Amino acid sequence: MRLILLAPPGAGKGTQAELIEEKFGIEHISTGDLLREAVEKGTPLGLKAKRFMDKGELVPDDIVVEIVKNKIRDLKEFILDGFPRTLEQAKILDRFLEENNEKLDAVIEIQVPDEKLVERSTGRLSCKCGEVYHEIYNPPRLEGICDRCGGKLYKREDDNPETMYSRIKTYKMKTLPLIKYYFQKGILRTINGDQDIERVFWDIEKELNKIKS
């Protein structure tokens, strides 16, 4: 399956993408994680991207599009988390898939009320391996240590209330129009994200099983 997870910051895209990857064996591609990797390595692309990420703004389309194309070029199945985030990115993705005689199977929209987003993101603990935890809602077994790889958990620089407000505003301005775009294509599936992690996954799994059959 070729899937997109579409949701505001802190809604649970990364969390659900990891669960889908585990259950269905589909590769999870997070543009946020790829950009943070480039920032940490200090590459020219990373340095450019950091300026936008620190302000809660979107990194320019051309940078992100290249990263995604290189990642999905040889993949039959993927879960895109955090891409596309603008209409332009969505159209470029459609063209790219069309050129390869491929198409998206579903866009999973996860709906979460604004007030929960800040709470989820400010309590988040991240690991380099892609796992995400929450201090209250999904704590690791050992404090500060990743259950999966034993790595040291850290707080993301953009997980502070001020940057979160800016990220939510950016989402509403630039990314929300994609919901209509994919609804009109008939591939939008909306999930209630205001439930615990297992319940959200249960609902996503039901949708994915329908697509597969």
Among all residues, which ones are annotated catalytic? 13, 85, 124, 156, 167
Nearest distance from C-beta of residue 40 to Mg ion, angstroms: 16
One character per residue 45-84, x = contact with ligand AP5 (rule: CB under 6 A):
-------xx--xxxx----x-----------------xx-
Which of 8, 10, 14, 46 forms a contact with Mg ion (CB under 5 A)? 14
Which of 124, 182, 203, 208 forms a contact with ligand AP5 (CB under 6 A)? 124
Instruction: Tell me the window of 120-128, 140-148, 181-189, 204-212 that interacts with ligand AP5 (CB under 6 A).
Output: 120-128
Give the DSSP H or E segment for 209: helix 197-212
Distance CA 210, CA 180 (A): 22
Distance CA 71, CA 197 (A): 27
Closest-by-Cβ residue to ligand AP5 is 32
Confirm or reject binding of residue 9 to Mg ion (CB under 5 A): no
Number of residues counted as binding ligand AP5 (CB under 6 A): 37
Q: Are 54 and 27 in contact (CB under 8 A)?
A: no
Distance CA 144, CA 162 (A): 24
Q: Are 131 and 148 in contact (CB under 8 A)?
A: yes
The token pair at 54 is: 């620190």
Q: Which residues bind Mg ion (CB under 5 A)?
A: 14
